[in-house]
Amino acid sequence: MDLYMSSTQTSLPPKLAKIVDRFKRRSNPKQKYAQLLHYASQLPAMPESVKTEENKVKGCVSQVYITASLENGKICYQGDSDAQLVKGLVAFLIEGLNELTPEEIIKIKPDFIEDTGLNVSLTPSRANGFFNIFQMMKKKAMGFHSGAAE
């Protein structure tokens, strides 16, 4: 039983597992928000030219954009949001998923979102947005995976 319960954590790529663990250790929602705002402040600026309908995350109350490029077989994401907390969620996912192969990203199950405890701290629409951002990043990874003839 113990092995089954911890399977989510062990199946995560190291950088993502480290971030999830960081959020797990913060029991106070205010600390979790502070951590998200810190991530938001670290997110590199995204060029306005790529904030297009194609890169917009559907199902988010705020404006969220995600782009992905493939460099040396690894995905490099860029993202932005007009809401600081959501921008923190974008930064969290970019930090955890950048420089992974499409195959590694496709294998990740969204259970880690619950492991962070953020789904309890966030409003239902933000928690749903977090899931939608992750799904968009996964979808972009699948696009590289299916077209990976390089």
- DSSP-derived 3-state class of residue 81: strand
Collapsing DSSP to helix, strand or coil, 5 comes out as helix
Give start and end residues of each alpha helix (H) in 28-117.
29-42, 84-97, 102-107, 112-116
- C-beta separation of 51 from 40 below 8 A: no
Strand partners, 69: 76
For 96, other C-beta atoms within 10 Å of its C-beta total: 23
How many helices (H) does the chain have, and how many strands (E)? 9, 2
Query: Does the annotation mark 60 as catalytic?
Result: yes
- Beta carbons within 10 angstroms of residue 55's beta carbon: 18
Q: Which of 19, 46, 60, 113 is catalytic?
A: 60
Enumerate the active-site residues: 60
